[in-house]
Amino acid sequence: MKVIKIAENKKIITVYPTTTIRNALKTMNENKYRRLPVVNAGNNKVVGIITSMDIVDFMGGGSKYNLIREKHGRNLLSAINEPVREIMEENVITLKENSEIDDAIETFLNKNVGGVPIVNDENQLISLITERDIIRSLIDKIDENAVIDDYITRDVIVATPGERLKDVARTMVRNGFRRLPVVSEERLVGIITSTDFIKLLGSDWAFNHLKTGNVREITNVRMEEIMKKDVITAKEGDKLKDIAKMMIDNDIGALPVIDENNKVVGIITEKDIIKYFDDYFVKR
């Protein structure tokens, strides 16, 4: 199956290199998108992409925070009106419109990305395909007896309720994780995701918390104030197909895996389910 067949009817929203970070965030938040292709206005050629992890990086997780700290003296209100080209990823991983679904699976696993633009030979944007699109299109291929146990990520890095946003951002960027379970006394109490950073900055929340404009008023916020507390979870032995459907139905990218004492023993992500499909195509 061609990737364009899966993604041909998707609503694609783009931004331009000159779009402000603030407007890009607002667009992502309102449409519940984790990524936006950045295109040239004249020819629709892909010149970048901005993702939820770029926002985590921008908020203290990595080098993109320098835009706030160095150029704008930690003034978030000033920095967020910079053009999106200042923090977008310029080396965009793409797929051609004639690529097959197994090419997309290989790209997601080998490049550690969750979605990529689909382009023509002139690098003009046609659509965008995500891990969730693959899961939705192939969910009927999952064996009814397959369980999540062989696909769980066991080595889980967690956050605590008292950790500051900037420290969690650094952990996420350093490890390439889009979400961290939040644990207190070894028990799951919440989860923080890269999408939450979009919600914080793309809504009025951040600006209601800013009194002087200094980014520290945001980056020093504790996880207990912003984490999701009502967490959908999985348990060992759960059927992989059921968990995949749960992700699609609830528009979430991962479920912490807990034991009978609510202790986190792993996490199952969309990428882990993509690994199942990788095995499926190899064995077919």
Q: What is the pLDDT of residue 1?
A: 87
Exposed, middle or buried, 43 (CB in 10 Å: 0-12/13-18/19+)?
A: exposed
pLDDT in tens, 68-120: 999 999 999 999 999 999 999 999 999 999 999 999 999 999 999 999 999 99
Instruction: Please state, in angstroms and rounded to a whole number, the distance separating the CA atoms of residues 265 and 257.
Output: 6
Where along the chain do its domains lie?
3-141, 148-283
CB-CB contact of 238 with 179 (8 Å): no
Q: What is the pLDDT of residue 206?
A: 82
Q: What is the pLDDT of residue 283?
A: 54
> Binning pLDDT at 50, 70 and 90, where does residue 204 land?
confident
pTM: 0.93
> Binning pLDDT at 50, 70 and 90, where does residue 238 land?
very high
Q: What is the pLDDT of residue 282?
A: 54
Q: What is the pLDDT of residue 25?
A: 95
pLDDT in tens, 151-186: 999 989 999 999 999 999 999 999 999 999 999 998
State the Cα angle at 38 between 247 and 76, rounded to 5°: 85
CB-CB contact of 74 with 52 (8 Å): no
Q: What is the pLDDT of residue 212?
A: 85
Residue 9 burial (CB count, 10 A):
7
Domains 3-141 and 148-283 agree in fold: yes
The average pLDDT across 221-238 equals 96
Check pLDDT > 70 for residue 284.
Answer: no
Range 3-141 has CATH code 3.10.580.10: yes
Q: How far is CA 224 from CA 14, 40, 82, 161, 244, in A?
A: 33, 40, 30, 5, 28
In CATH, what number does 148-283 get? 3.10.580.10
